[in-house]
Amino acid sequence: MISVSEARAALFQLSSVTEVEQVPLAQANGRVLAQPVSATRDQPPFSASAMDGYALKRHEVELHAMFQVIGEAAAGHRFDGLLKAGQAVRIFTGAPVPDGADFVVIQEDVGRKKDLITILNQPGDSDNIRPRGGDFSIGQTVNAPRLLRASDVALLAAMNIPVVPVFRRPVVALISTGDELVMPGGTPGPDQIIASNTFGLKAMLEEFGAEVRILPIAKDNEPSLKMAFSLARDVDLVVTIGGASVGDHDLVAKVSADLGMERSFYKVAMRPGKPLMAGRMGKTAMVGLPGNPVSAMVCGHIFLRPMIQSMLGLQPGVEPLQTATLTHELAANGPREHYMRATVAAGKVTVSPAQDSSLLTVLADANALLILPPNAPAQRPGETLQYLPI
């Protein structure tokens, strides 16, 4: 049995970065920038007023000084003339500062009668001007790879980059296996349950940036499983759920081997999730997850997330682990790394009392997987432990 980190390293070997594709800016959120992009202009492209007020000359600013208002500059409409001594231009936020002016007095500090203004409050030191290129200059780059968030999209828009090079979303096919499974909305027989992992994993993998296809449920017989695999030939990653142990009905290992899978590993020293399997079928990476719903979802967080990140060209293996202090005692761990469903609030972590790997209610109420390393000793309240937010 290999360790979690060895398994993860092996999974990176199976994950290749996808190609670059161009997407419209409006669809770039959540995608990974694949190549550096450069600003095509300065922002602001001119010295701009940061306030509503009056543009004038800084050296003329003093309490009770009077100026003649000779025109107006609004956003999108510059004042064309040249400002001379004793003159001011009415100006609004975002408007170009007129030639000859180097200061904006905010309107709250000014009294106006017709075309005459008087400075009534001593203005502060700030000139209230945003210099040309103060945000960014032409040629300034946004480096890749970078997971684009809403604020990045705003920046790329301001840089006038309407089409963005991103890594293609990896395509993942999900195959549920089991005679007992029925799709949500179906009518289960007396011995059947609803396929839940499939939908949980689809949601999870989409959050990670993948495009997910749910394939028809494979029955616990070879032809059915072979048929499901045959539908997954062109994807980047095929994930089977269930049938990965060594029971009489666990056919994933046999069928995938018959179909030419080069196995990378089978079984990982972790709880839940031990019967994890991985390999390669041609260009497609293959991961066989255990069927228990919580096991499958935990393996999604621990293994599929870094795989998808790696396929998306992001630095893999950077785990967003956090720490919290334990609120209660915890028994010593066995030889497998334990990912315990837990709740973290205000820096304190409480492990859920029921840890059976079939309990989706417990998983749904948890917001953390508390990580107990192999053979960790018993823990006392107040101990600091690592967890993965989920």
Q: Which positions from 163 through 182 interact with ligand AMP, judged by CB under 6 A?
A: 176, 178, 180-181
300 lines the binding site for Mg ion (CB under 5 A): no
Among 15, 197, 309, 333, binds ligand AMP (CB under 6 A): 197
Compare residues 53 and 178 and give the one whose CB is closer to ligand AMP: 178
264 lines the binding site for ligand AMP (CB under 6 A): no
Among 293, 306, 313, 316, binds ligand AMP (CB under 6 A): 293
300 lines the binding site for ligand AMP (CB under 6 A): no
| Closest separation in Å from C-beta 176 to Mg ion | 9
291 lines the binding site for ligand AMP (CB under 6 A): yes
245 lines the binding site for ligand AMP (CB under 6 A): yes
Among 44, 145, 165, 243, binds Mg ion (CB under 5 A): 243
288 lines the binding site for Mg ion (CB under 5 A): no
Q: Which entry of Mg ion, ligand AMP, none binds 304, CB below 5 to 8 A by partner kind? A: none
Count of residues in contact with ligand AMP, rule CB under 6 A: 19
- How large is the greatest C-alpha to C-alpha distance in the chain, in angstroms? 95
195 lines the binding site for ligand AMP (CB under 6 A): yes
Among 200, 242, 272, 275, binds Mg ion (CB under 5 A): 242
Compare residues 98 and 290 and give the one whose CB is closer to ligand AMP: 290
| Closest separation in Å from C-beta 328 to ligand AMP | 29
Question: Which residue ranges make up the site for ligand AMP (CB under 6 A)?
Answer: 176, 178, 180-181, 193, 195-198, 241-245, 247, 290-293
